[in-house]
C-alpha cells in the first residue's frame, strides 16, 4: 500500500512537471475573452526626427494594454496588418525583449490649427476631436478666422 502511494505521488509530480514544461514551451492557452480599448478620438503620433508633420492613429483603433509605468504612462499594443512590400531597416539589438515605442497623445487645442492645415483629417475625426477637447463654437470660429489659405 505504501509503495502504491509513492507511485501515485511520483506520477502526480511527473505530470505537474510535464504540464509546466508544456506551458513554458507552448505558452498559456488562448484566452476566451480579450479586453481592449477602442479609441473614441484620433491620437497624434510623434514622428521620429525633424518632421513637423502630424501622424494620426484613427478613432476606432483597438489598443491592448501592455504595461503601466510608475512614471505615469501606459504602453499599449496596436496590431497592424500590412499588405505588400515596404521599405524597412532591420535592426538587431543586443538587448533581449527590446521595445522601442513611439509616443502618442490626444489632440490638444494648440495642435488643432496646424493639424487642420497639414494633415488630411476627416470631418468625423475633426468632430470627435472637438467634442473630446470640449471646444466651444467661439474657439472653433477663432481657429477658422486665423486659418490662412
pLDDT digits (tens, 9 = 90+) for 28-42: 454 456 789 999 988
Distance separating alpha carbons of residues 129 and 146, to the nearest angstrom: 19
Q: Which of 119, 118, 116, 125 is nearest to 143 (CA)?
A: 116
What pLDDT does 64 receive? 93
Domain holding 57, by residue range, is 31-146
55 and 101 inside one domain: yes
The verdict on 1 and 53 lying in the same domain is no
Q: Using pLDDT thresholds of 50, 70 and 90, give the confidence band for residue 77.
A: very high
Q: Output phi, psi for 123, to 5 deg.
A: -60, -40
One domain, residues 86 and 136: yes
Query: Same domain for 21 and 40?
Result: no
Q: Is the pLDDT of residue 20 over 80?
A: no
Q: What integer pLDDT is reported at residue 62 of this predicted model?
A: 94
pLDDT for res 72: 92
**DSSP symbols for 54-114:** -EEE-TT-EEEEEEE-TTS-EEEE------S---------SSTT------EEEPPGGGHHH
Same domain for 79 and 16: no
Q: Report how far residue 57's alpha carbon sits from residue 67's, in angstroms, rounded to the nearest whole number.
A: 19
State whether 47 and 16 are in the same domain.
Answer: no
Q: Looking at residue 31, what is its pLDDT?
A: 45
pLDDT digits (tens, 9 = 90+) for 84-124: 988 888 888 888 878 888 888 888 878 877 777 777 777 78
Same domain, 67 and 136: yes
Q: Are residues 53 and 19 in the same domain?
A: no
Are both 100 and 137 inside the same structural domain?
yes
**Number of folded domains that form the chain:** 2
DSSP SS3 for 28: coil
pTM: 0.61
Amino acid at each position: 500500500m505504501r509503495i502504491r502511494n509513492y507511485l501515485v505521488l511520483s506520477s502526480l509530480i511527473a505530470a505537474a512537471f510535464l504540464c509546466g514544461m508544456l506551458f513554458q514551451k507552448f505558452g498559456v492557452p488562448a484566452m476566451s475573452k480579450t479586453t481592449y480599448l477602442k479609441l473614441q478620438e484620433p491620437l497624434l503620433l510623434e514622428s521620429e526626427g525633424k518632421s513637423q508633420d502630424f501622424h494620426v492613429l484613427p478613432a476606432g483603433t483597438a489598443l491592448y494594454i501592455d504595461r503601466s509605468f510608475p512614471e505615469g504612462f501606459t504602453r499599449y499594443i496596436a496590431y497592424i496588418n500590412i499588405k505588400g512590400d515596404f521599405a524597412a531597416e532591420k535592426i538587431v539589438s543586443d538587448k533581449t525583449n527590446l521595445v522601442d515605442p513611439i509616443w502618442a497623445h490626444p489632440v490638444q487645442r494648440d495642435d488643432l490649427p496646424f493639424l487642420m492645415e497639414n494633415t488630411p483629417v476627416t470631418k468625423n475625426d475633426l468632430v470627435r476631436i472637438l467634442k473630446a477637447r470640449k471646444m466651444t463654437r467661439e474657439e472653433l470660429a477663432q481657429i477658422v478666422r486665423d486659418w490662412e489659405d
